[in-house]
Amino acid sequence: MNAMRTIQLGDTGAAVEDVQQRLVTAGVLDQVHVTGVFDEATAEAVRAFRAQNDLGQGGKVDDKTWSALVDASYHIGDRTLYLRMPHFHGHDVLELQQALGALGFPTGYEDGIFGAFTEDGVRKFQRNMGLPSDGIVGAYTYEAIRNLAHSWQGKKPLQRPMNLGFARAADVLEKNALCLFGTDDFTRGVASRMSNLSLATNPSSKIVSADSLLVPPNETMLLVHLVLPGEQLVVERVPRVAFDPDETLALRMVPAMSAAYRNKGPRMIVELPSRSWEDAGESRSMQHYAITLLDALCSALSVS
């Protein structure tokens, strides 16, 4: 990707106006100065913004300054947020962290980065509100947060210790080597998202997708094959676990894993219910299955 052209004093046009509007949103420029002309007032606002965000001195808008301006322009509800690599970051994530913290669902540091602690706070909030606890901040989660605005706006977060209550946050990720794979685009997508979630939670994770493996799996690595209903496999003595009901998925995985590890080259199959979860689109369905399945795997590994 080519670097953007630096925007600086004397420039004019729509790009300058866009920068000025974002500087207004960031609180360092008055609306009256949104003229499409990069004047001294704009340069001073850029200098102030760069200083606030540790971007060094100067009144020019380079790649890093532009990226930071874009992050600062997001507000809560502008986009769907979830745990991924690289992490989502921006003002909307900070507002989300502040809202959840004030409501009693701490997210760790209020740093504007959607990491594992923020996902944990989201999941706890979703469970509390009777929503699907998938850690994905979409329309229903935003609606629930907005409906409680009177309870969190302008209030400080409740102080709680940072503690992740799900097995994924423990050392399970780096103590167990698993290779996740699918045989079509959908199941490969779920496997890839599971791998990304693992690495986003713990960079030392050994739970990875086949697509990200640099070397062939060895005989001690558990292969987890994701399939869809009706997919027939000619394999003997390979445990096959149905995804539904997901409330008991972790419990049902424990004996399946034990059986898999008794074989040379341990392998198990997990059958997803469909390509769609609660009429969600394909991407969100993949993410939901990935989150639920990864947490179930980690919970099962923690007791097996």
pTM above threshold 0.75: no
Same domain, 36 and 52: yes
What pLDDT, on a 0 to 100 scale, did the predictor assign at position 167?
A: 61
- How many CB atoms neighbour CB 172 within 10 A? 22
Same domain, 66 and 124: no
User: Of 73, 93, 124, at which residue does a domain stop?
Assistant: 73
What pLDDT, on a 0 to 100 scale, did the predictor assign at position 165?
A: 47
What pLDDT, on a 0 to 100 scale, did the predictor assign at position 132?
A: 85
Residue 3 lies in a domain: no
Residue 8 lies in a domain: no
Same domain, 80 and 63: no
What pLDDT, on a 0 to 100 scale, did the predictor assign at position 2?
A: 52
CATH of the domain at 123: 1.10.101.10
Residue 234 is which amino acid? V
User: Of 165, 188, 220, at which residue does a domain stop?
Assistant: 165
Q: What is the crossing angle of helices 91-102 and 116-128, to 10°? A: 50
Same domain, 60 and 103: no
Residue 7 lies in a domain: no
Same domain, 37 and 50: yes
What pLDDT, on a 0 to 100 scale, did the predictor assign at position 169?
A: 61
Residue 89 lies in a domain: yes
Domain count, the chain: 3
Print pLDDT tens along the chain (304 aa).
455 689 999 999 999 999 999 999 888 999 999 999 999 999 999 999 999 888 999 999 999 999 999 989 899 999 999 998 889 989 999 999 999 988 888 888 888 999 988 998 999 899 888 888 889 999 999 999 999 988 888 887 765 544 454 566 668 888 889 999 999 999 999 999 999 999 988 888 999 999 888 777 778 899 999 999 988 776 677 889 999 888 888 888 988 898 898 888 899 999 999 999 888 889 989 999 999 999 899 988 887 6
Range of the domain at 171: 167-303
What pLDDT, on a 0 to 100 scale, did the predictor assign at position 59?
A: 93
Residue 107 lies in a domain: yes
Classify residue 264 as exposed, middle or buried by CB count within 10 Å of its CB (0-12, 13-18, 19+): exposed
Same domain, 197 and 225: yes
Same domain, 32 and 20: yes
Residue 46 lies in a domain: yes
Distances (CA, A) of 252 to 127, 255, 279: 22, 6, 26
Residue 2 lies in a domain: no
Same domain, 177 and 161: no
User: Of 165, 187, 215, at which residue does a domain stop?
Assistant: 165
CATH of the domain at 66: 1.10.101
Same domain, 80 and 137: yes
Same domain, 80 and 136: yes
Q: Give the DSSP letter string of the chain.
A: -PPPPPB-TT-BSHHHHHHHHHHHHTTSS-GGG-SSB--HHHHHHHHHHHHHTT--S-S-B-HHHHHHHHHHH--TTSS-B---SSPPBSHHHHHHHHHHHHTT---SS-SSB--HHHHHHHHHHHHHTTS--SS-B-HHHHHHHHHTHHHHTT-PPPP------SGGGTTHHHH--EEEEESSHHHHHHHHHHHHHHHHH-TT--EEEGGG-SS---TTSEEEEEE-TT-----SS--EEE--SGGGHHHHHHHHHHHHHTSSS-EEEEE-S-S-STT--HHHHHHHHHHHHHHHHHHHHHH-
Residue 248 lies in a domain: yes
Strand partners, 61: 7
Same domain, 29 and 154: no
The verdict on whether omega for the bond into residue 245 sits within 30 degrees of 0, i.e. cis, is yes
Same domain, 81 and 156: yes
What pLDDT, on a 0 to 100 scale, did the predictor assign at position 234?
A: 67
